[in-house]
Structure 1
Amino acid sequence: MNRPSGQTALDILGKDKETVIRELNSQYDFVGEIRVNELVQLEIEKIKVEEQIREEFDESKINNLADSIKDKGILQPLIVRQEAEKYILVAGERRLKASKIVGLNKVPCIIMDIKKEDVPLLQLFENIQRENLSELELNKVFQGMREKGLTIEEIAQKVHQDKSYVHRYLSISKFSDEEKKKLEEGVALTKLTEARKIKNEEKKKEVLDNINNLSRKEIEKIKNKSSSSTPSKSFK
């Protein structure tokens, strides 16, 4: 494949090319068969944005990022993959949008060989560091990493969190469709996790139906009562 001419982005990272490529390949090794080929300054008009994991962006944050880029430049290159003469954005849409606001013609990019089916996982992993992902998105990232063969400890190291953090979001894989829908509606994961511990299925359903009106401690009390022989009070 022909690579675009232009200044490399090594000045942005402050490291030699071999070190950067080695570190990036190590960072993304869980995704699968990827390879960082080049770091370049790429013309914005050559970058095509296809479907991204994050479809909504906070415009105020984009504007703040634009101010930062205007002041300090782009501190982290975008990631693209090449198809013929096109460059498809893999990660960095916020930086791309902000760069357009600033009026930049070129942006530093990492050109990466990556299978198209592995792109969503890499996008989610990238967004852990840059945006607040939803619980379901975090579950998707960690589940994908597990399917790639990583242990809980290895995932925790990748995302700079402890193992309990990873366990918490992996547990969502066991949630029912109704429980996942509650997460999408904004119900706290801690409340749903507590509700799932209720052994009496009828009582559990009653709690889920009324979960917006209950605190985590109230759910815990209901769980403890349902585990004993003492009948619990109905919500009706």
Structure 2
Amino acid sequence: MITLKLATSLDGRIATGSGESRWITGEAAREQVHRLRAEHDAVLVGIETALADDPELTVRLAGYNGRQPARVVLDSRQRLPPECKLIATAREIPTYVVATAAPEPRLTAAGVRVLTVRALGEDRPELRTVVETLNAEGLSRIFVEGGGQVAASFLRCGLVDALEWFRAPLVIGGEGRPGVGALAIAALADAPHFRRVEVRELGPDLWERYEKA
């Protein structure tokens, strides 16, 4: 079960052209994202998001004492820096790096589990193999959080089962960074199709939920 989470402006942007992104959506939407994390086995991001945001990818809710999901970073060249939060907490919370080369000792020494998978062009991990490898680790419910290229890659492969889309009432414009990267779609019939199952207001934002059509 692969769930893609997007938190964007009305025009589908996740950051301004300069990279500012905190916070596009409001507190209520961010709180709901933490609830959704708690429902999944793992939270997955790409290396660019990990480098830009230095996220924890944990469930942070008042009074929450449940299990923390594993953290997964698609990091072909194992570029995660030793000072980042994910590495610093890898011995407390299961943390995986998906790479296309042999594990780096500095990562494994810090408690990170490096999963080596085959590459697909441009040294990117082949996503179907990634999903199979994570499933073998007992991580069958994956919450994909970013960024735009990772979102596009999962959509291109037809791996997204559900969308959790948080939409803020602002417009950033074409120079902003898209929530979904290029899909190379020439015909509408080839676009990934989803069925809307629910829409809720969360403070000033909308939470739209979709399932694969």
TM-score, scaled to structure 2: 0.28
More helix by share: 1
More strand by share: 2
TM-score, scaled to structure 1: 0.26
Higher Cα Rg: structure 1 or 2?
1
| Higher RCO (Cα < 8 Å, 6 or more apart) | 2
